[in-house]
């Protein structure tokens, strides 16, 4: 199998290399065929080689691949003359990666605000209030005068239906409960449409219980009783905010895995940023990207690319869990392990399996 490998910026090269090693080891453990990695430029490296952060070469190569692992990007530091839409947004829009699946799980051995948390936030990823992806041409943000800034929020029935189906299918394999998060008491037309369509879709899944919460109340509920939720489905901006909150409540954003997917492609990308202040210091936590890669392997298995990929995903998750349980963690989790030391311990756990 050919999968893309995009290092990105900041800590990207460190955590992407660690993730590649863990995936290769997990596949060898289950006697699966190895991945043929396809390295592709993006970010500062691409600017140096091609003059732009996201070269056409990279996009053309991704067209030929079912999935890829992408490190974080640091678009705020790009030269002004090439700064535009963030690389992640360009790729998500190009390949219609309409779903952003973000689990938040507390691990044994990791100090967490909510030790029992084990939920998944299913975030609609293609529209909403995000100006970089909700218009066919131009930007969803604009300024009619220097003193007035406006933003267009887009909510369509089609996008609501497909994300609701994905959330309900995911819930069927978990604890069979979906919570729809909205703000229909104020944004009655836009998030009201989202809520109503999710309810309509849920009628096709009689074994899945569905309730709903206003987004402000949901933030409080996550803090108070985050361990009581199963699958949460919401629009783009709300999903972005709530998933970061859930990630911190479960331990750290360094644990926050994320999968962006359509019906035929998937991109593993950790929810955190490029952390340029610690780049190159061997201090980054690679867990989020490793878990994202495991999600990618499971997605590939579910889409007909080989059942052994799902087994490899399970073993990656188990090995990370056992590493934490043994008291090994990086600095963001209160531990002392470097990036490379943590990676070696995960690899050792994989070999024991």
Find all residues with CB under 8 Å of 262, minimum gap 6, and list them: 95, 96, 97, 98, 99
Query: What does each C-alpha distance from 31 to 95, 306, 312, 349 come to in angstroms?
Result: 31, 12, 9, 16
Q: Three-state DSSP class for 261? A: strand
For 341, phi and psi rounded to 5 degrees?
A: -65, -45
244 is catalytic: yes
136 is catalytic: yes
Q: Three-state DSSP class for 69? A: strand
Q: From CA 225, how far away is CA 217, in angstroms rounded? A: 12
Of residues 78, 183, 205, 332, which has the active-site annotation? 183
Of residues 56, 136, 147, 173, which has the active-site annotation? 136
Find all residues with CB under 8 Å of 296, minimum gap 6, and list them: 3, 67, 69, 259, 266, 267, 268
User: In the numeric block, which tokens belong to residue 315?
Assistant: 């073993």
Count of CA atoms in the C-beta half-sphere (13 A) of 285: 27
17 is catalytic: no
Ramachandran assignment for 2, one of left (phi > 0), alpha (psi -120 to 50 degrees), beta (any other):
beta
Of residues 93, 118, 244, 314, which has the active-site annotation? 244
- Report how far apart the first and last C-alpha atoms of the chain are (Å, whole number): 23
User: In the numeric block, which tokens belong to residue 228?
Assistant: 């009581």
Chain-centre distance for alpha carbon 7: 16
Q: Three-state DSSP class for 3? A: strand
Cβ atoms of residues 12 and 71 within 8 Å? yes
183 is catalytic: yes
Of residues 9, 74, 240, 332, which has the active-site annotation? 240
Catalytic residues, by residue number, are 136, 183, 216, 240, 244
């Amino acid at each position: 199998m050919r999968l893309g490998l995009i290092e990105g910026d900041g800590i990207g090269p460190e955590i992407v290399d660690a993730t590649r090693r863990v995936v290769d080891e997990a596949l060898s453990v289950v006697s699966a065929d190895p991945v043929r990695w396809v390295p592709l430029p993006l970010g500062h490296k691409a600017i140096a080689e091609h003059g732009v952060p996201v070269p056409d070469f990279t996009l053309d190569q991704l067209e030929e691949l079912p999935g890829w692992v992408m490190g974080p990007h640091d678009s705020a530091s790009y030269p002004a003359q090439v700064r535009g839409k963030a690389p992640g947004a360009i790729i998500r829009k190009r390949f219609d990666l309409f779903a952003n699946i973000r689990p938040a799980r507390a691990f044994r051995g990791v100090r967490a605000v909510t030790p029992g948390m084990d939920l998944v936030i299913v975030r609609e990823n293609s529209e909403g209030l995000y100006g970089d992806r909700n218009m066919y041409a131009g930007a969803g943000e604009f300024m009619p005068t220097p003193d007035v800034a406006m933003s267009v929020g887009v909510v369509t029935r089609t996008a609501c239906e497909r994300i609701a189906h994905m959330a309900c299918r995911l819930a069927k394999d978990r604890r069979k409960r979906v919570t729809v998060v909205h703000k229909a008491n104020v944004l009655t037309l836009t998030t009201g449409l989202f809520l109503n369509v999710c309810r309509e879709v849920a009628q096709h899944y009689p074994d899945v219980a569905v309730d709903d919460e206003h987004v402000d109340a949901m933030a409080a509920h996550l803090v108070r009783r985050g361990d009581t939720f199963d699958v949460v489905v919401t629009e783009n901006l709300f999903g972005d905010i709530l998933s970061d909150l859930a990630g911190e409540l479960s331990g750290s954003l360094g644990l926050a895995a994320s999968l962006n997917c359509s019906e035929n492609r998937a991109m593993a990308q950790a929810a955190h940023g490029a952390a340029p202040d610690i780049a190159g210091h061997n201090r980054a936590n690679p867990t989020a990207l490793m878990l994202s890669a495991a999600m990618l392997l499971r997605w590939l298995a579910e889409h007909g690319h080989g059942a052994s990929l799902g087994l490899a995903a399970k073993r990656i998750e188990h090995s990370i869990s056992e590493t934490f349980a043994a008291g090994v963690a990086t600095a963001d989790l209160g531990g002392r392990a470097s990036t490379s030391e943590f990676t070696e311990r995960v690899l050792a756990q994989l070999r024991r399996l």
